[in-house]
Amino acid sequence: MKRDLDLCRELMLAFEAAPAGQTIHTISLTGGGEIDTANAFAHIDLLIGAGFLEGEVYPNQTDPDNGMFFVEKITWAGHDFIDSARSESVWSKTKDRLKKAGSWTFSLVMETLKDEAKSQIGDLLH
């Protein structure tokens, strides 16, 4: 499985839209295009491992499309990611910069998102 930044962003935005204080066990993605359930579960697990979400993923080994997940909350780091990646413009410019670099880590994604957001804020202030 290859890590998909757009799917990570879409998942985080979907979790943010869920009611506060409730454990989330289903999610609706809006990004147009087919997302297979096993891939979404794997990315939710990555986001938990990255410290952006608190919860658990329980894959079904015999039927990957019928696993379960429970997300209890978005962490502070998860909210930082959402707030940094919310703007389509910032998101698009960040992805363009990462493509030019040819390789990336998630910490580099966060740094680039922050740089792009700072740049847009700076443009608004001048």
pLDDT for the residue numbered 19: 85
> What is the domain extent for residue 109?
87-125
82, part of any domain: no
Distance CA 86, CA 11 (A): 12
The beta-strand segments (E) located in 4-122 are 53-58, 68-74
Q: If the chain, 126 residues long, is cut into consecutive pieces of 10 residues, what is the mean pLDDT of each piece?
A: 90 90 74 69 93 89 76 95 92 90 85 86 64
Tell me, what's the pLDDT at 25? 77
- Residue 67 included in any domain: yes
Max distance between CA atoms of the chain, in angstroms, equals 57
* Six-digit token string for 70: 């429970």
Is 53 in contact with 74 (CB distance < 8 Å)?
Answer: yes
Q: What is the pLDDT of residue 31?
A: 57
**What is the number of domains present in the chain?**
2
Q: What is the pLDDT of residue 126?
A: 56
**Are residues 9 and 71 located together in one domain of the fold?**
yes
Q: Is residue 50 part of a domain?
A: yes
Helix (H) or strand (E) holding 47: helix 37-49
Specify the pLDDT at position 46. Answer: 94
Q: Does 65 map to a domain?
A: yes
Q: Do both 51 and 97 map to the same domain?
A: no
- Per-residue model confidence (pLDDT) at position 8: 93
Tell which residue, 123, 124, 99, 122, has the closest CA to residue 112: 99
